[in-house]
Structure formats: structure tokens, C-alpha cells
């Protein structure tokens, strides 16, 4: 441990979290959002938190990874993680949240159809229109009254509140002003439309965004409560349609290296390339995840070596080795004559000639 580390650093979780929130940010990364006193973000309990811990506790970071993560924390910058599938890019986000007690990870899985607004907020305009039509049909004027004069005296039915049809997305929820930053995982950003990385720049620089549908109503309804991306019924107050963070969230962007990103985007990110784990790190991962000391078991050492050897012919994911160890712990595929079929079944190549 190094004395400047926050993630994986010295002291209790509370002490490290205090250093995270009290460490002075760069002057150009200071934000002024005011938390909603009536909104409490999810804490370290519940099913979502248990899923985060299940993934995060098994991660074994190296010194370089820990250095780079802490650099991103101090600079309040997104962390762009590249590497082959299965090396632990997504799991690192859960490890950060677990290590610092930051609550469940917010997850935005990116596809070729993803747009910036999908991450910021969702507005069900069609649902609101349908609700308005139903209310109109239920009004006294509906039902085929043949006397227009009577219908003209019927007061219009009030429109459904817009708040019922708005929900913050994972990025929008991460940018809420809170007393501690949230961890946001933007998964496989290299699969996005070519414009998405550029569209994210303004949000990353401003630390906030405006919801136009609420901004237009600010004169009549300046404060509106809407749902967040977290499970549960808690709603947060949005003032004048503006979401502005207090602490920049811990944003983890993962990429399998399927495309290049524009220089302006890369300049605003701290970058980390994860290499495939070596034999020593694989042993640490197995001990951490399965509680198996590899040095005491020749059979498991042979599986680790087989994993490394097969990786030379095509990409493998670390969880494939964990699956192999788990099966051996369950006494499955124990016959020596089954060895090659066993390896081909649980360690099939993800890329390469035999994929």
C-alpha cells in the first residue's frame, strides 16, 4: 500500500472515503451541485449492493492498476480501460465501489444504437400522450354528448404530471449532487455510434446536464421529483430541469479495442490497459475467488499451466479457468482420459483459429 492511495489504500473504509471526498480537486474539476435533502442514495445493503460485492471482492488489482485508478480519483476524470475480453475490466468498477463503500454500481451497457440521452434520462412521451387520451375519454365531455353547448362548459381534465414519465438513466443518476461519488460503469463504449464519445465530452466537462422537458416548465413548476436508475421507489428533486453534480462520479469506461477514439475524448480520460494475468496473479485470483491455495495442489497448478498454454493459441477469459477449478472441486471430469475433452469444453478459445 502507498500512503497516497485511496482505493486499496491505508486505513478503514470510512477513513479512505473521507480522503476521497476531502481531497482537493483540480480547480477546473470543481462542481457546485446541492444535494436534495429528501433523497437518500442506495447504501451498502440490499440485493444490488450484494451483487456489487460478489463481483468486487474477488478482484485482485496489481500495483499499476491501483496507481492508475487512484490517479483518476484525484483528478476527477473518467477511467478508460482497454484490454481483451475476460481480463476484468468491468469487475474493476465493482472492486472500486466495494473497496470504498460507494453503494451499488450504476451500469450503462452501450450498444450501436445507444445515444447520450439514453444514459442521461428517459422520457416516455408516447405513454404520456396515451394517458392524456385516456383521461380525455373518461371526462364528462366524452361519450357522444350531442349537445356541444354542454360540452363547452366542461372544464378540461388536468394533464398527467410529467414526472410520472421521466426517469434518470445511469449516467444521469451518477451525476446527481450527493455527499459521495457514485461508481458508473459504461460498458463496451467501443460498440457505440461514432458520435457518442464526442457527445459525452460536454457532460464530462460540465459535470451536469439539462432536461429540456423540465426546463420548459421551470416557470410553472420549478421543482419536480423524478425516479432514478436505482431500484426502488425513491425520487429526487430536479430544480429548473438542471442536474449538476457535487462530486464528479467515478466513471469507468471499458473497451475491447475494437475502435479508436478521437483525441479530444482521450485527452479527458485517464487510460489503463489491462494485460492478461500471469501465473502468479492467476494463483492470487483463484485463492481470492475460490479459497484454493494453488501451491498445495499439483492438479490445479496443471490447470493453470494448461490455461496459459492454450492462451497462446487464442484468447481465453480468466473466469474459464475459475470454471475449470470449480468443476475439479466438485470432482467433475476427474478421469485422466477425459482431460483433453475437459479442457476443450471449459477453455474453448474466444478468438483465434479454433474459436
How far, in Å, CA of 324 to CA of 291, rounded?
Answer: 14
CATH number of domain containing 174: 3.40.50.300
Taking a C-beta distance cutoff of 8 angstroms, is the pair 158, 131 a contact? no
* Model confidence pLDDT, tens digit, residues 146-176: 454 444 444 455 566 788 889 999 999 999 9
pLDDT class of 355 with cuts at 50, 70, 90? low
* 106 and 254 assigned to the same domain: yes
Tell me the C-alpha distance between 217 and 191, whole Å: 35
- In this structure, are residues 95 and 105 in contact, taking their beta carbons and an 8 Å threshold? no
pLDDT, tens digit (0-9, with 9 covering 90-100), for 328-337:
888 888 787 8
Instruction: Clarify whether residues 257 and 322 are in a common domain.
Output: no
Under a CB-based contact definition with an 8 Å cutoff, are residues 306 and 339 in contact?
Answer: no
Residue bearing the bigger pLDDT, 122 or 160: 122
| DSSP string covering 117-172 | HHHHEEE-HHHHHHHHHHHHHHSTTTTT-S-HHHHTTSPPPPPPPGGGGEEE-HHH
Per the structure block, which three cell numbers stand in for 299? 492438479
- Please indicate, yes or no, whether residues 185 and 200 belong to a single structural domain of this protein: yes
**For 289-314, what is the mean pLDDT?**
88
Amino acid 206: pLDDT:
96
State whether 84 and 181 are in the same domain: yes
* Mean pLDDT score across all residues of the chain: 89
How far apart, in whole angstroms, are the C-alpha atoms of residue 271 and residue 268?
A: 9
What is the distance between the alpha carbons of residues 227 and 308, in angstroms, rounded to a whole number?
A: 47
Listed residues 232, 258, 273: the one ending a domain: 273
Q: In the β-sheet with 235-239, what is the strand arrangement from edge to edge?
A: 121-123, 166-168, 223-227, 235-239, 242-244, 208-210
Residue 182 and residue 138 share a domain: no
Q: Which of 273, 294, 316 is the last residue of a domain?
A: 273
| Domain encompassing residue 156 | 121-162
Domain check: are 193 and 341 in the same one?
no
The reply to whether 55 and 85 lie within a common domain is: yes
CA distances from 248 to 33, 105, 225, 234 (A): 10, 15, 22, 22
What is the enclosing helix (H) or strand (E) of 184?
strand 183-187
Smallest CA-to-CA distance from 202 within 119, 271, 260, 273 is with: 119
Rounded Cα distance between 84 and 195, Å, is: 23
Specify whether 85 is located in the same domain as 190: yes
> Reduced to 3 states, what is the DSSP secondary structure of residue 26?
coil
If phi > 0 it is left, if psi is from -120 to 50 it is alpha, else beta; for residue 265 that is: alpha
Same-domain check for residues 101 and 191: yes
pLDDT band at 319 (very low <50, low <70, confident <90, very high): very high
Give the number of residues written for the chain.
Answer: 355
Cβ–Cβ under 8 Å, residues 173 and 233: no
Confidence bin at 136 (pLDDT 50/70/90): low
pLDDT for 354 equals 59
* Cα gap 123→353, rounded to integer Å: 46
Q: Residue 152 has what pLDDT? A: 47
DSSP 232-252: SS-EEEEETTEEE-SS--EEE
Task: For residue range 6-59, list pLDDT tens digits in order.
Answer: 999 999 999 999 999 999 999 999 999 999 999 999 999 999 999 999 999 989
* Number of independent structural domains in the chain: 3
Share of the chain above pLDDT 70, in %: 90
In a domain, 204, yes or no: yes
Considering the domain boundaries, does residue 233 fall inside one? no
Within this chain, do residues 177 and 92 fall inside the same structural domain, yes or no?
A: yes
Tell me, yes or no, whether 4 lies in a domain. Answer: no
Mean pLDDT of 270-289: 92
Residue 138 sits in the same domain as residue 202: no
Tell me if 6 is assigned to some domain.
no
Note whether 66 and 138 are same-domain residues: no
Q: Is 56 left (phi over 0), alpha (psi -120 to 50) or beta?
A: alpha
Amino acid at each position: 500500500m502507498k500512503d497516497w492511495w485511496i482505493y486499496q489504500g491505508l486505513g478503514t473504509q470510512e477513513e479512505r472515503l473521507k480522503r476521497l471526498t476531502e481531497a482537493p480537486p483540480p480547480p477546473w474539476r470543481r462542481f457546485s451541485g446541492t444535494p436534495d435533502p429528501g433523497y437518500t442514495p442506495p447504501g451498502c445493503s440490499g440485493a444490488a449492493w450484494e451483487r456489487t460485492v460478489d463481483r468486487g471482492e474477488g478482484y485482485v488489482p496489481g500495483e499499476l492498476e491501483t496507481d492508475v485508478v487512484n490517479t483518476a480519483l484525484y483528478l476527477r476524470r473518467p477511467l478508460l480501460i482497454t484490454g481483451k475480453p475476460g481480463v476484468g475490466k468491468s469487475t474493476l468498477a465493482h472492486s472500486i465501489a466495494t473497496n470504498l463503500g460507494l453503494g451499488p454500481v450504476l451500469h450503462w451497457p452501450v450498444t450501436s444504437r445507444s445515444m447520450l440521452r439514453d444514459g442521461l434520462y428517459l422520457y416516455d412521451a408516447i405513454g404520456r400522450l396515451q394517458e392524456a387520451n385516456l383521461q380525455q375519454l373518461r371526462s364528462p365531455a366524452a361519450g357522444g354528448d350531442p349537445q356541444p353547448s354542454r360540452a363547452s362548459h366542461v372544464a378540461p381534465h388536468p394533464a398527467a404530471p410529467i414526472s410520472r414519465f421521466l426517469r434518470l438513466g445511469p449516467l444521469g443518476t451518477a451525476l446527481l449532487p450527493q455527499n459521495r461519488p457514485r461508481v458508473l460503469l459504461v460498458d463496451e463504449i467501443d460498440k457505440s455510434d461514432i458520435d457518442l464519445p464526442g457527445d459525452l465530452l460536454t457532460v464530462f466537462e460540465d459535470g451536469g446536464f439539462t432536461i429540456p422537458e423540465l426546463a420548459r416548465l421551470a416557470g410553472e413548476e420549478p421543482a419536480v421529483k423524478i425516479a432514478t436508475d436505482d431500484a426502488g421507489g425513491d425520487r429526487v428533486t430536479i430544480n429548473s430541469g438542471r442536474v449538476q453534480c457535487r462530486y464528479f462520479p467515478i466513471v469507468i469506461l471499458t473497451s475491447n479495442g475494437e475502435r479508436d477514439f478521437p483525441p479530444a475524448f482521450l485527452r479527458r480520460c485517464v487510460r489503463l490497459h489491462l494485460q492478461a494475468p500471469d501465473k502468479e496473479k492467476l494463483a492470487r485470483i483463484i485463492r481470492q475467488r475460490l479459497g484454493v491455495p494453488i501451491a498445495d495442489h499439483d492438479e490445479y497448478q496443471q490447470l493453470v499451466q494448461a490455461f496459459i498454454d492454450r492462451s497462446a493459441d487464442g484468447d481465453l477469459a480468466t473466469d474459464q479457468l475459475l470454471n475449470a477449478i470449480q468443476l475439479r472441486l466438485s470432482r467433475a471430469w476427474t478421469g485422466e482420459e477425459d482431460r483433453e475433452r475437459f479442457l476443450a469444453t471449459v477453455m474453448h478459445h474466444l478468438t483465434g483459429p479454433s474459436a
